[in-house]
Structure 1
Amino acid sequence: MGETSISAKRSVGQLMGNSFLAFVLLGRPVTPDMSAVAKILRARHPDLTTGPDGSGEQQVQAGSPLIRCGNELVAVMSMPAPIPEDRSLWARAATTWPESKAVAARHRGHLIVSMLGKNARPLVAARVTTAVIGALIAAMPECCGVVWAGRVARPSGLWLEMSRHSFAPFPDYPFTLWLDILPFQSDGKIGAITVGLSTFVGREIEFETAKLTLPALIDKVAGLSVYLIEHGNVVKDGDTIGASATERIAVRYRNSEILGGLPVFSCNDDFADSLQ
């Protein structure tokens, strides 16, 4: 059992950096019983093949750092310490999760969760990792929050509920667990910018408008975000997008002044006015 565990952990160390990394915050350090997690995962997603990796002995399964979800393996490693402090992360989280800073301050351990392998589509990795995190939360009352890809923080209760839809068809999977959409104002216009979309397609969306209401703008950014998550980076510099000629949106590749120079799809809806 010792050699198997060492080998598995070595594989985890080699491969975890190749996919999404998520942190599950724990009120106290604890190692999950992966056999129990596998049972919950199977119950929540009965169409998938699930189980710990290994020869099948119960005691090896319970302590395994790997769990199978469908055709993929996911690594889960328990860390007896808080995650590194990130004030900007928790400032963003507090806008929709008021208790987030208190949860961050009092957690004492965390789990690192990541799908293994280099070549999976980002959406596949996100779906699988999300499903496993949901099962971990269901199995472990110590879970108090989730930090996705180092950028987006959500309460464990919300993740538990929304992760049931990890494998729902487009556009109904829980993409709002994976990115924030933050409003801003600029030169008499309103805008919204994503945080987390670049994990999927290499860029965030930065959308400014003088026409749309804020709810309509958020819906527009959410719709474009989930489209890009589904199809990949299919929007090129200089493209226009929209449902009709009067709704065309111009897209340029730029570096964001709001997000410290990060690459963005810079969008505006002034393009249609130039056609009239």
Structure 2
Amino acid sequence: MRVGVVFPQTEIGGDVGAVRAYGQRVEELGFGHVMAYDHVIGADPEVHQGWRGPYDVDTSFHEPMVLFGYLAALTSLEMVTGIIILPQRQTVLVAKQAAEVDLLTGGRFRLGVGLGWNRVEYEALGQDFSTRGRRIEEQVMLMRRLWTERSFSFEGEFDRVTGAGLAPLPVQRPIPVWFGAQSPPAYRRAGRLADGWFPQMAPGPELAEAKAVVDQAATLAGRDPVALGMDGRLQWRGDPDGLADLASRWREYGATHISINTMNAGLSTVDDHLAALEHAAAALGLGDV
């Protein structure tokens, strides 16, 4: 089971030095990947009365693909989007950006995708919120062709490509596509289409039920459920022993990866986040601690 970290998007802010220090120290501590999730634009609660989203116009988010290009020059970590809100982005452009990150990291990249929840963001990016479920399936199919074929034509419901292709192609052909999933339709979609998935719950009965749906969908699609990866999220709560126990539980449920999240733990600086990760690394028996 591979162990990585969740980049503390909302708490590092615009300090480039903190980004550099975080990436380099995470690698030194023995973590294998860094995961970042995606919001392009934030809603202003003064305009959107009654706004109840977890993020707004003042919440900091680094753009994952650009962030990964920067970190690829500083570390040999695997980069993971967990997740990119794919249907609000242009399919071919995402495929191009993903191919570039894959090249810069030497094939150490997983593209995690999901539907998102923010209608304001979809509107600002010129995409239809109501068709996002159908669109993501077409997008994944199209991206896989873009990553593996020199030139082709494609006519879908949402995208058209006429006699074109990407160059250079990525190292991984195709790049692994992982799905965020927190509903039965999303579990079934992950089973049918994904190379892996990100459960949004802790190990227990709910995870067992979700995994059963994913596995059944994979089987019905003629795929081997055992081949699907699963990346579990572990929230840092200041208890290294508890974190180690939770990691063991994820392993029992078949997780291939786990990611330690230090956001929303009362940590105010990058040094605080890294200190927490030092404790986590020691508890999990990782490298330089």
Q: Which TM bucket (shorter chain)?
A: under 0.3
| Larger Rg computed on CA atoms | 1
TM-score, structure 1 normalization: 0.25
